[in-house]
Amino acid sequence: MPKHGKKFRDAQAKVPTGVQFKPDEAVQMVKDLASAKFDETVDISTRLNVDPRKADQIVRGTVVLPHGTGKVTRVLVIAQGEKETEATEAGADYVGTEYVDKIQEGWLDFDVCVATPDLMGKVGPLGRILGPRGLMPTPKGGTVTFDVGRAVKEIKGGKIEYRVDKTGNVHAPIGRVSFSPEQLDENLGAIMDSIVRAKPSASKGTYVKSVTVSSTMGPGVAIDPNLFRRGATT
């Protein structure tokens, strides 16, 4: 396990052990503890009471963060004809069917891929390349659609996709350290509301087990999970 540097250890020492904060307090502490020379990403990590090995307990969804992620998202749209024009006008960075061959040749200079349903026959074989990287278009993620203009605008506007990992955790960005506490708090609230609404019916007991927020180079700050008990059952 890698050892943390002195800056990290100093910051971690300022986080009270065993204390769970309100969301606005937690994001303020993350901002105060950030010490890197770049604009660190602020991430949320939440542990859920689900068994991801069971198909009926997979938690996944999409949410448009009110203030975006602070990151410029490069969008590829695999479309043709009028849909190609629609995607370009909506602000897509790369548009066209020729990118199928480029991806097969190793090109991956994009963050999100959108494809129209009629071209999934061509896109499908790319699953072995895009799937492991989380770049494969999916209907559930809203990235397999004929409404490419709307999809591009939502992604550029701060739409993110999340999915529970094999250990029962969901990780997602909620902004940058340069964001105001209010912006981070509102983004955090948006994704937690989405995660709570995505609770599988097969999940019993307390759904949200823990919530932690941190910056790229900083320690985790715990948030009281009881504030998200709307998804809990008795």
Q: Is 204 a member of any domain? A: yes
Q: Please tell me the distance from the alpha carbon of residue 221 to that of residue 11, in angstroms, as a whole number.
A: 11
Q: Establish if 1 belongs to a structural domain.
A: no
Do residues 55 and 170 share a domain?
Answer: yes
| 119 vs 146: CA distance, rounded Å | 10
Shared domain for 148 and 85, answered yes or no, is yes
pLDDT tens for the chain, 234 residues long, are 456 677 777 777 777 788 899 999 999 999 999 888 899 999 999 999 999 999 999 999 999 999 999 988 999 999 999 999 999 999 999 999 999 999 999 999 999 999 999 999 999 999 999 999 989 999 988 999 999 999 999 999 889 989 999 999 999 999 999 999 999 999 999 999 999 999 999 988 899 999 999 999 998 999 999 998 754 433
Residue 55 lies in domain: 6-68+159-231
3-state secondary structure of 142: coil
Question: What Å distances lie between residue 91 and 7, 66, 67, 84, CA to CA?
Answer: 40, 19, 18, 11
* Number of continuous H segments (helices) and E segments (strands) in the chain: 8, 9
Residues 6+ apart with CB under 8 A from 121: none
What stretches of the chain adopt beta strand conformation (E)?
A: 41-48, 60-64, 75-78, 94-95, 112-115, 159-163, 169-176, 208-215, 221-223
48 in a domain, yes or no?
yes
Tokens encoding 223: 């948030």
Q: How far apart are CA 132 and CA 49, in angstroms?
A: 24
pTM exceeds 0.85, yes or no: no
How many structural domains comprise the chain? 2
Angle, CA of 179, 28 and 48, to the nearest 5°? 95
114: its two tokens:
């959108």
Boundary of a domain, candidates 112, 128, 156: 156
